[in-house]
Structure 1
């Protein structure tokens, strides 16, 4: 009999990754549980406040789960990788007037690149997570991330940047289940976090105050500037560009007598442009930092039809995607879409799998 395949499961202490580990063990894999130590503070109280996948409670919960299902468990230190590829990137993007997606960066460079490398060094064949996604090898031979069976919890958008090598060595056991099914499996298996609430915020900014986090963790200080309309007329003063993102309505504190929205952030002039609701809609975007997943890299000028998602919660809009040059692609939407936001990802879907994607300029 061939030796069982070894898989390292990234365990956050939540129900999804816990059930992923249980499912893989039930399928006959040699499972090892690992929690990635990514918190930056040595102070236990500060770490605990982070919560999510960064806090001390995550380690304790994951350890209890590993003991319950009978698998070895370790904590691996990824502080430096997380600081460089996630926190520094997060801060730098906001300073540039863009809205980053740290989960995408963490997936690509920490959970997959760093964790996969260390896992293979200890003899693992695969890594696995509790993401609601599926992996499929297409007829063209390429691996692609495919939508999970549940649209409500589908997490494929944040996985568009994975490489072919990473996907080849990845398992997504939860992708075939809905969230209620995952909780039921956990309850029936006696997994102690069966009813643990989901983490909602970015793990290292637990209170959602991104601007304060940036100032506390860098030498950047927000500089007040002008709110302007699209013609450059000054409408009022803002608190600093890191407080704003395209499409934002709340927190502007502008006495306009009507609803207005952020339509653009201009770091070069320290201006925040606001406009009417219709001004937030656009029919075209350009993106760079491209990653082609389910399709081979298109030739310059080549076009394809795709459902394009421009943020995690976006249901997607049909568009024609065209490769502009070596580094960029454009999406021409059939209908205008709301709040195309620089720094977020544009992810191209064909049927229910990811063809590719990039970062919106």
Structure 2
């Protein structure tokens, strides 16, 4: 029996993770991480409601629940990171940083200091333990829900102290059924979607609440013709189609943004060469084992649940055999050797 501190968010996946740990005979303490409690214009932060759900699950399971205030770390390493990245023309992935710095950073460190042997979460992934204490991060059995794309910056040392119970379950329907069987009361909650602290107000409203509005031109990529105006180039990302507000006519796609000149470039050609690429330059790479993989061919995912594509890794450059859709700078490119997640890097401009 191990002493396990389980992150309990009030959602379906973490509730089942806690239940499975209790059933396995572990000494489980639930922890609700209060990462964000600020209301935004038109959006009341749901943290209190989520905490109430977590409390009900803990009572049902007969385990203690502690509330840990992680807001300072979350703001400094996730929220501020997101705002700064958008201000510089990147489209960041805050979940990746949250996992590295908060859930498998602050949470793990505090749990170990409190006497935990392991921490656990409701992430869809698998930790394989081998000889000599070495561990590998594997994709979840449910490929559609797999979250290793968001875990590529978590170190091997942190994973060695991590349990991921729901990664062994084949689909979300089964997770919900198992929650219902145990009377946890959260089985019908919808999946979380988008950036947790932004909520239904959307990233545009959040950024305009954080950054100064700057009017600029929307320009046709092929001709340089001004098609309309926008409130800030930082609000747009490569490949975006909605929210351009260009009136009637064909659908247009964002090809590029220039935050210094405050210009957004678009095209009406869905198959424009400007929307495709054959290589990606990576920065701020992070490898789970601590060692960069050898040059060679690997599977690469550039979007959560996106297609796994084969690419050649040469140093910090990924080369694809065929043109693939452009990936917004600031997003993650994650490498796999079969089902094993190796790590990845941040896509550069």
SS in 1 for 2:128: strand
TM alignment of 1:223-302, pairs within 5 A: 223-230=214-221, 233-236=224-227, 237-254=229-246, 257-275=249-267, 276-277=269-270, 278=272, 279-293=274-288, 296-298=291-293, 302=294
Q: Aligned-pair distance for 1:19?
A: 0.6
Give deviations 1:307-344, integer Å, cap 9, x for gaps. 11111131121100121xxxxx1110121111311010
- Alignment correspondent of 2:103: 111
Q: Aligned-pair distance for 1:222?
A: 2.2
Unaligned runs of 5+ in 1: 324-328
Q: Aligned-pair distance for 1:258?
A: 2.8
SS in 1 for 2:279: strand
TM alignment of 1:48-67, pairs within 5 A: 49-51=44-46, 55-67=47-59
Give deviations 1:143-179, integer Å, cap 9, x for gaps. 2221111112111101111011111111100001121
Q: How far apart are the structure 2 equivalents of 1:343 and 1:211?
A: 17
- Alignment correspondent of 1:326: none
1:87 to 79, 86, 89: 79
1:169 to 144, 149, 161: 161
Q: Aligned-pair distance for 1:229?
A: 3.8
Give deviations 1:70-124, integer Å, cap 9, x for gaps. 1111100001001101110111111111111111111110111000000011000
Task: Decide whether aligned partners of structure 1 residues 69 and 47 sit closer, same or farther in structure 2, where only a CA change above 3 A counts.
Answer: farther
SS in 2 for 1:115: helix
The answer to whether the Cα contact below 8 Å between 2:70 and 2:102 also exists between their aligned partners in 1 is yes
The answer to whether the Cα contact below 8 Å between 1:50 and 1:203 also exists between their aligned partners in 2 is no
TM alignment of 1:211-230, pairs within 5 A: 211-216=204-209, 218=210, 220-230=211-221
Most deviating of 117-126 and 194-203: 194-203
Q: How far apart are the structure 1 equivalents of 2:98 and 2:91?
A: 15
The answer to whether the Cα contact below 8 Å between 2:140 and 2:167 also exists between their aligned partners in 1 is yes
Q: Aligned-pair distance for 1:257?
A: 3.5
- Alignment correspondent of 1:344: 331
- TM-score, normalised with respect to structure 2: 0.92
**How many residue pairs end up in the alignment?**
343
Q: Aligned-pair distance for 1:253?
A: 2.6
Q: How far apart are the structure 1 equivalents of 2:131 and 2:322?
A: 31
Q: Aligned-pair distance for 1:256?
A: 7.8
User: Alignment RMSD, CA only?
Assistant: 2.1
The answer to whether the Cα contact below 8 Å between 1:17 and 1:129 also exists between their aligned partners in 2 is yes
- Alignment correspondent of 1:183: 176
Q: Aligned-pair distance for 1:18?
A: 0.6
Moved >4 Å (runs of 4+): 45-48, 138-142
Q: How far apart are the structure 2 equivalents of 1:114 and 1:169?
A: 13
Task: Decide whether aligned partners of structure 1 residues 69 and 46 sit closer, same or farther in structure 2, where only a CA change above 3 A counts.
Answer: farther
Most deviating of 132-141 and 285-294: 132-141
The answer to whether the Cα contact below 8 Å between 2:155 and 2:289 also exists between their aligned partners in 1 is no
The answer to whether the Cα contact below 8 Å between 1:20 and 1:174 also exists between their aligned partners in 2 is yes
- TM-score, normalised with respect to structure 1: 0.89
Task: Decide whether aligned partners of structure 1 residues 139 and 241 sit closer, same or farther in structure 2, where only a CA change above 3 A counts.
Answer: farther
Q: How far apart are the structure 2 equivalents of 1:46 and 1:68?
A: 35
Q: How far apart are the structure 2 equivalents of 1:207 and 1:31?
A: 33
The answer to whether the Cα contact below 8 Å between 1:211 and 1:242 also exists between their aligned partners in 2 is no
Task: Decide whether aligned partners of structure 1 residues 348 and 197 sit closer, same or farther in structure 2, where only a CA change above 3 A counts.
Answer: same
Q: Aligned-pair distance for 1:284?
A: 0.7
SS in 2 for 1:198: coil
Unaligned runs of 5+ in 2: none
Most deviating of 304-313 and 19-28: 304-313
2:135 to 143, 152, 168: 143
Give deviations 1:14-60, integer Å, cap 9, x for gaps. 1110110010111111110000011243x7x9998223xxx111111
Q: How far apart are the structure 1 equivalents of 2:234 and 2:287?
A: 31
